[in-house]
Amino acid sequence: MAACTSSLVSLLLLLLLLLLLVVAPWRSAGEATAEPALNFTRQDFPGDFVFGAGTSAYQYEGATGEDGRTPSVWDTFTHAGWRTRAPEDVKLMSDTGLEAYRFSISWSRLIPRGGGPINPKGLEYYNNLIDELVKRGIEIHVTLYHLDFPQALEDEYHGWLSPRIMEDFTAYADVCFREFGDRVRHWTTMDEPNVLSIAAYDSGAFPPCRCSPPFGTNCAAGNSTVEPYVVAHNSILAHASVVRMYRDKYQAKQKGVVGMNVYTFWPYPFSRSCADIAAVQRVLDFTIGWILYPLVYGDYPEIMKKQAGSRIPSFTKEQSELIRGSADFIGINHYTSVYVSNGSNREKAGLRDYYSDMAAHFRVSRNDTPREKYVPYKVLSEPKGLQCMLEYLRDTYEGIPVYVQENGKFSNSISIHIQPNDVLQQRRFKQFDKDDSLNDTERVEYLSSYMGRTLAALRNRANVKGYFVWSFLDVFELFAGYHSPFGLHHVDFEDPSLPRQPKLSAQWYSKFLRSEIGINIENMVSPDEHEHAYQ
């Protein structure tokens, strides 16, 4: 009898262990336990792992009407203007100790009409920038398209809504590979196509500001129920066309890699209910799987096809073969995590858009009001979510290499309170206190904890290849204008000479990259801790 009892106890313990293994990945943020201290240095990362920082063409370059450059849709939208200082900034990157720099090429600077003749001044600008980076020994990561679509092609055929984009985007990429590929080995075709599709064609918050009621307001044209799916579809096909061209024409000689970027956030279930856990998986499929699943497996996730029905385009057999395996790596932009709860009651609505199909509600914190749309109006420090995301990508997408291409924070918990169609008001923002911006201790804590979580994911066999801080300098942020202190270096936009000054975070990052300091995270910020901080 004693033997039977002992066996029964052992069996129960085994079942309990298995239950914990199943439940643990879905543990809600408020229930997570504090993590042990993590001490690390630059040497704890693999030799081929790269640390860098980034900017994008529209947000950094300026000179919007100079040297043959024509407007992009963002120029039309904001009428912003300033002037870049690339040679000095590359020296600043070298002085900081950056191992890599990620930037984007302005399509309308290089090819002003979107197609046709190359702009000599644009070609000279990028050749000079790339040569300077090579001279300084900084690894170059180029994004071909970072939301700044040529206005000329938008006027001609509505850009990403038309299948014509595949031919023009491939031709543009061909020019970039031909002119710069002898020095550039890392190419990202597009930045955040999942954001572009929703923000520009569902809510209408981003240019070309297309939407339809009740999902968006003040749009002159658009159809929120179908256009986001069409834009994403054409983006995936355009990416795959570029990759095939590169592999056929350039890869053997240039030895480069081409990938795709997506915006990510980690969704924690609001409760342990089956409905909320199912909502988390829907959110992962709709936000990440929307773009990555076709690139790895050749089709959209089944839940997307079920929810959107005929409103989501289908891939032909030939297209499926073209897109499957068309990414050498994945780039993610990751900043924070959210709570997700079930919103399946929205499925019964007669007129539906992307968010209605996803059928979820979002909260920044547990006591936050649930929202039907995810709007990143706050960037909360929740580094565990990045580790969860990297390990999820490891398990779901066949271990494809991943770069964390953007991760960063406003100084001192600044929140963004911009509603759709308010971006034109950005220049009215008051510049934040310079001393407060320079002494950015919260950014140091944020970056160090997210870097620590990246290392933890690496040690758990996530195939992470690099980490890039957003951004190298204070730049024109798409949701917060000129004066949002996201950069490692402060830029005084009130001074016409735009002087740069390193913040505390730049000095800290420099010392870490030069192995002059290690990082000792006494208390890794865990979800329950951030909950107390932001209630």
The catalytic residues are 192, 406
User: For residue 77, what is the enclosing H or E element?
Assistant: helix 73-78
> What is the Cα–Cα distance from 499 to 513, expressed in whole angstroms?
24
Are 344 and 275 contacting, i.e. CB atoms less than 8 angstroms apart? Answer: yes
Spatial CA neighbour of 284 closest among 205, 214, 203, 374: 374
Q: Which residues are CB-contacts of 32 (< 8 A; sequence separation ≥ 6)?
A: 384, 526, 527, 528
Amino acid at the residue 512: F
Q: What is the dihedral of CA 450, 455, 457, 462, to 10 degrees?
A: 120
**Pairing of β 360-363 and β 330-342:** antiparallel
Are 173 and 130 contacting, i.e. CB atoms less than 8 angstroms apart? Answer: no
Burial string for 323-338 (b: 16+ CB within 10 Å, else e) reads bbebbbbbbbbbbbbb
> What is the Cα–Cα distance from 63 to 60, expressed in whole angstroms?
10
> What is the Cα–Cα distance from 167 to 138, expressed in whole angstroms?
32
Residue 422, SS3 per DSSP: coil
Are 318 and 379 contacting, i.e. CB atoms less than 8 angstroms apart? Answer: no
Q: Which two tokens stand for residue 267?
A: 């969704």
Angstrom CA distances, 390 to 94, 134, 333, 481, stand at 29, 30, 12, 30
> What is the Cα–Cα distance from 42 to 136, expressed in whole angstroms?
20
Angstrom CA distances, 117 to 109, 130, 172, 242, stand at 11, 21, 11, 19
Residue 386 main-chain phi, psi, to 5 deg: -65, -40
Supply the Cα-derived Rg of the chain in whole angstroms.
Answer: 23
Three-state SS string across 262-307, please? Answer: EEEEEEEECCCCHHHHHHHHHHHHHHHHHHHHHHHHCCCCHHHHHH
Amino acid at the residue 440: D
Are 82 and 474 contacting, i.e. CB atoms less than 8 angstroms apart? Answer: no
> What is the Cα–Cα distance from 147 to 150, expressed in whole angstroms?
10
Give the residue ranges of DSSP H helices in 181-226: 193-201
